[in-house]
């Protein structure tokens, strides 16, 4: 199959997931179209090198996450991204108004995820896209066991922060 055909198929099959990925990586709504465009360009270019060593889905997510992580890293402000340890210790800068529904919870969770370093954010976003540890490991170049350990650690910290710092 030609690279252009592979790209068209992948864009059609995974377009909504790429939009969610962009939403999760880029907090500024005005910049999201730029990131989505960068991902599509990188994806289109990448299919010239695609050799069927992994699924198209894995390839798409690998390219998309690497592009998004590079984009975020280039735009990073010195204090805008934090390590998991720093996130765990932060005084709560995310509002704790009474929950008014799932949308508010989702926004609060995304605010926490936006503050993670790109590699931790990538793990969490792949997990939230319902990918298994083996697929995430293949995309990120780490073992499935390492993926499970890191996701458990991130979830524990996010849960604590989400619940206002109380222990789970």
Cα–Cα nearest to 54, from 141, 120, 130: 141
Instruction: State how many domains the chain has.
Output: 2
pLDDT of res. 82: 54
Q: Are residues 50 and 98 in the same domain?
A: no
Alpha-carbon span 163 to 131, nearest angstrom: 25
Q: Which domain holds residue 91?
A: 79-168
Beta carbons of 61 and 129 less than 8 angstroms apart: yes
Domain boundary among 31, 60, 75: 75
Cα–Cα nearest to 148, from 162, 157, 137: 137
pLDDT of res. 167: 37
Name the more confident of 154 and 162: 154
Q: Are residues 67 and 85 in the same domain?
A: no
Sequence-ordered alpha helix ranges (H) in the chain: 3-25, 32-46, 56-75, 84-89, 102-114, 118-128, 133-140, 144-162
pLDDT of res. 69: 84
Residues 31-45, buried b or exposed e (16+ Cβ, 10 A)?
A: eeeebbebbbebbbe
DSSP track, 71-113? HHHHH--TTTSB-HHHHHHS---S--PPP-SHHHHHHHHHHHH
Q: Are residues 91 and 51 in the same domain?
A: no
Do you know the residue count of the chain? 168
Q: What is the pTM of this model?
A: 0.62
Domain boundary among 46, 75, 104: 75
Mean pLDDT of the 154-161 span: 85
Beta carbons of 112 and 155 less than 8 angstroms apart: no
Q: Are residues 140 and 163 in the same domain?
A: yes
Domain boundary among 16, 40, 75: 75
Residues 11-41 have pLDDT tens digits of 999 999 999 889 888 888 898 999 999 999 9
pLDDT of res. 148: 95
Q: Are residues 6 and 54 in the same domain?
A: yes
Alpha-carbon span 52 to 79, nearest angstrom: 40
Residues 95-146 have pLDDT tens digits of 444 445 566 677 777 788 878 887 888 888 888 888 899 989 988 889 999 9
């Amino acid at each position: 199959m030609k690279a252009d055909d592979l790209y068209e198929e992948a864009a059609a099959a995974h377009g909504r997931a790429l939009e969610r990925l962009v939403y999760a990586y880029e907090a500024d709504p005005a910049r999201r179209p730029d990131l989505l465009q960068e991902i599509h360009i990188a994806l289109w270019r990448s299919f010239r090198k695609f050799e069927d060593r992994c699924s198209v889905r894995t390839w798409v997510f690998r390219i998309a996450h690497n592009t998004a992580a590079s984009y975020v890293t280039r735009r990073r402000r010195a204090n805008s991204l934090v390590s998991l340890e720093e996130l765990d210790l932060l005084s709560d800068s995310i509002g704790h108004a009474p929950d008014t529904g799932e949308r508010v919870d989702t926004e609060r969770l995304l605010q926490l995820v936006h503050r993670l370093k790109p590699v931790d954010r990538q793990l969490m976003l792949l997990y939230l896209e319902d990918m298994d540890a083996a697929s995430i490991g293949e995309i990120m170049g780490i073992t499935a066991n390492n993926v499970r350990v890191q996701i458990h650690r991130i979830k524990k910290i996010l849960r604590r922060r989400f619940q206002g710092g109380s222990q789970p």
